[in-house]
Structure 1
Amino acid sequence: MAAAPRCELCRARAAPLRCPGCRLTRYCDVSHQRTDWISIHSHICHLLIPVLGPQPCFHSEKDRKHGKEQLLRRQESLIAVALSTAQGFVWSGQPLEAIPAALQALRFSSRVFGSGSTQLVPIYLLLAEASTGEHCQHGNAGKGAGRLRQAAKYLSQAQWIVLQTPDCSAALQSKLHRGLGLFSAAEGNLDQALYHLANDVSSLWHDWLLSSLHRHQQVLQAQAEASPFSEEEEVIEDRMTEGRREEGTRMLRAVLKVREQGPLQHPGETARALHALAMIHYLGLDLAKAQEVGMKAFDLAKQLPQQDSLETIGHLLELINAQLSHTT
């Protein structure tokens, strides 16, 4: 016996109402139908029919393969529309309207990529941000408190996926820390908020500085190969980036202060912040300071169970030492 259809929005109750457009989506009452229509259904009603409706029968392997590829493209299009719509609501300060759209993106992403895929992490974080924003609008009473509990569940799901993915990108980990930081702030746990937001800041600066260091090495190589016309352009670039180096130095020192004073010790994150600060000093030609901070990062990285960062920190120290020997 087939299970009774459930409401598209709450999934918790029988759904006698059917969308007259796609005739595939059901609701428990008019208010849930209206909420879903405003959030996402008006954008995807026509897209659901070829995805969720009866699929054609194919008589050859070539046609079956083409049909699967076409279905995948349609599902990916649905995910993109739902995700961008949800983000738009969050950015415009309408967290409640964002939730149905984000849930639609989550359902189709789970179907396409699998429930443990890192593709789901940004959606869980968006759902947590929307739920946290809804809590902040309504306070600790009634639905507001429930939204905060729901945000915690979404964050737990995102965190579980990241922990199960050893090669998870630094950018995704940074987004996770940002989500955890915003949630901790809404919860009133400022120490945890500072810790996670500090992780977010150090990750962003670390990645950007690695790219800057690579570009700097390319410039040095070009100068070594005698390009007399590039010197003026590089001086201009240095002037443009001076303010950003000062900003990075202030931010990373603040991060390290949080690390030192916080109740939780995370040597891996501290080593990354030190590495980033050493790169800033090197790019700013404060070689003595770069060497001092770089050695701290290197010594700390040697104590970690996974020593993936030793090579990049060691490479930075080699560049610093080469520059110091060249100037003495």
Structure 2
Amino acid sequence: MATGDKDHHKADWVSIHQQTCQLLIPTRTSLPCPTTERERKRGTEQLLRRQKYIIDAAFSTAQELVWAGKHEEARPAALHALRFSIEVYGSDSLQLLPAYLLLAEACAGAGHLPEASQYLSQAEWIILRTPDCSAAVQHKLHRSLGLFCAAKGDFEKALYHLANDVYLASSTFGLTSIEASGGYFHMADVFFRQNKVDIANSLYTEVTSAWHSFLLKSLQAQQQVPKSRPETSVFTEDREVSEEPLTEAQQVEGIRVLNAILDIREQAPTQQPGETARVLHALAMLHYLLMDVPKARELGLKAFELLKQLPQQESPEPLGYLLALMNVEPSSTK
């Protein structure tokens, strides 16, 4: 066996086989013929459950590896998710889209752009064959296409796809949703790479605002602020507060996006204390929700020090509430 084949086999085993090898055996071997219709139905249902479990395990493993920046290691697991999805749902099912997009992201991240292009083409073909495909699904394809074009350096085409991403996500989740903000963030990155800094900064502000609002609502839900008295809450918003906890994907995206914007704000030639404080406040809330109180306290205090430099441009009340939750007295800090 060639060295490359050994390395691929090792990555394949580490990423997915250890989780699913026992389940793979009954899906790949012939079982005794069932004697009754009831046994046949039960066997079919059991096989389907195992296949779906393998799909979920493989996809989750690949997703976590991509989030960790281990794109090459993610490819075998993503391939398992795709292969079993095809077995369960058929070769042209919309259910294959997540696996195709994840495979494309893993391949692009590992530098295999032609392979990534093939998977994106398959995903695009599936959506074209599904005329009633929802905007919530289509926006994910456009985001993947936009990121792929940006990786190739085709910035105009990247902006075209990312603009479609924002439009479709906004029509489904709302103009100020964090789903739509993802497209804005990637558009800002493209403009930044084109040295169109003013446009990029404007979009980064939109992204920060969306996350800030979302995290305020999440913190409100966690602290069970009475909905019947919104006028007394420091988190008053127009939309109803979501009681759903942050998903793992939202946690990862929030940390990545907000830290990237914070780096840009802190390294900018012209400082904007208000914008930097807003990013810091959002990150502090996110870390608090993730139960990393020391980091939340550090970020919250940095935000408070910046807000003190501003002539009443932004109310410090929500930030003060967050610091109070952590038993921090910012007025006594130096």
Question: Larger radius of gyration, structure 1 or 2?
Answer: 1
User: Of the candidates 35, 40, 63, which is equivalent to residue 59 of structure 1?
Assistant: 35
| 2:88 aligned with 1:112 | yes
- Consecutive unaligned residues in structure 1, runs of 5 or more: 1-15, 18-26, 136-146, 213-228, 243-328
* Corresponding position of 1:233: 230
Letter of the structure 2 residue corresponding to residue 150 of structure 1: E
Give the 3 Å change call, closer, same or farther, for CA 30–200 of structure 1 in structure 2: same
CA contact (8 A) 2:170 2:176 kept: no
Mapped to 2, the partners of 1:109 and 1:160 lie a distance apart of 16
| 2:170 aligned with 1:173 | no
Q: Deviations over 1:39-75 (max 9, x none)?
A: 2112211111111122232001111011111111110
Mapped to 2, the partners of 1:100 and 1:231 lie a distance apart of 51
User: Of the candidates 26, 42, 63, which is equivalent to residue 50 of structure 1?
Assistant: 26
Q: Deviations over 1:66-95 (max 9, x none)?
A: 111111111001101000000010011000
Deviation of 1:236 after TM superposition, in Å, equals: 5.8
Letter of the structure 1 residue corresponding to residue 148 of structure 2: F
Q: Deviations over 1:85-141 (max 9, x none)?
A: 000100110000110000011111001100000010111000001111111xxxxxx
Deviation of 1:182 after TM superposition, in Å, equals: 0.4
- Consecutive unaligned residues in structure 2, runs of 5 or more: 178-225, 240-334
Give the 3 Å change call, closer, same or farther, for CA 119–234 of structure 1 in structure 2: farther
Mapped to 2, the partners of 1:96 and 1:241 lie a distance apart of 44
Deviation of 1:235 after TM superposition, in Å, equals: 8.8
TM-score, structure 1 as length reference: 0.53
Mapped to 1, the partners of 2:31 and 2:20 lie a distance apart of 18
Give the 3 Å change call, closer, same or farther, for CA 121–234 of structure 1 in structure 2: farther
Give the 3 Å change call, closer, same or farther, for CA 241–96 of structure 1 in structure 2: farther
User: Of the candidates 107, 110, 120, which is equivalent to residue 131 of structure 1?
Assistant: 107
CA contact (8 A) 2:135 2:171 kept: no
Mapped to 2, the partners of 1:110 and 1:195 lie a distance apart of 30
Aligned length in residues: 191
Q: Deviations over 1:153-198 (max 9, x none)?
A: 0000000000100111111101000100000000100011111111
Mapped to 1, the partners of 2:70 and 2:52 lie a distance apart of 25
Q: Deviations over 1:266-306 (max 9, x none)?
A: xxxxxxxxxxxxxxxxxxxxxxxxxxxxxxxxxxxxxxxxx
SS at match of 2:31: coil
